[in-house]
Amino acid sequence: MPNDTYKKDVDELVAHKERMPWDDLRVQAQKYGIRNSTLMALMPAETSAQISNSTNGIEPVRSYITIKQSKDGILKQVVPEYRRLKNKYDLLWDQKSPEGYLNIMAVLQKYIDQGISVNTSYNPQFFDDEKIPMSEMLKHVIQFYKYGGKQLYYFNTFDGAGEMEDDVPLAAGEVDEEDCDSCTI
């Protein structure tokens, strides 16, 4: 079971407490087997998020309004329920460090047997001379693996591409007024 094989260092972040009947599940798995080889996996959600007008799963949103370009054209997307939830979103590029996010991913990884594709993101404005020190990135790599992370995917750096300020109005015709509230500003 995932809770038998996780990296125990993650218990420094959240104390381990058995909340589910793992012993019963172990007995059932030995008796009946497991149908699928994977107990749980988190998929990347970039494309499906665009199609369903949702956020990228466990990733913080980059901006209230993003611009995505593909072979099919340009898509301007507004975060879900912008009017009602605007002040509830923690934007990716407002984070001074990915440490908190990496800790959350490590705790999630404890119960997920497949590796979570985790990204780190850095905004140069929070660093001297707007240069991200290699020592800072290495510190986060070590932290991630210490707590049981399995897969660091991208190291993203903010360059402003694809994001819009939330006070920039969309041009007429760019948003169908018939759309749901989360699609319009």
Supply the pLDDT for residue 1.
79
The CA-CA-CA angle for residues 48, 52, 54, to 5°, reads 90
Global pTM reads 0.77
Residues 6+ away with beta carbon under 8 Å from 45: 54, 55, 56, 57, 59
User: What pLDDT score was predicted for residue 107?
Assistant: 93
Identify the burial level of 11 via C-beta atoms within 10 angstroms of its C-beta, where 0-12 means exposed, 13-18 middle and 19 or more buried. middle
Backbone angles phi, psi at 101, to 5 degrees: -65, -45
76 vs 139: which has the higher pLDDT: 139
Look up residue 23 and give its amino acid.
D
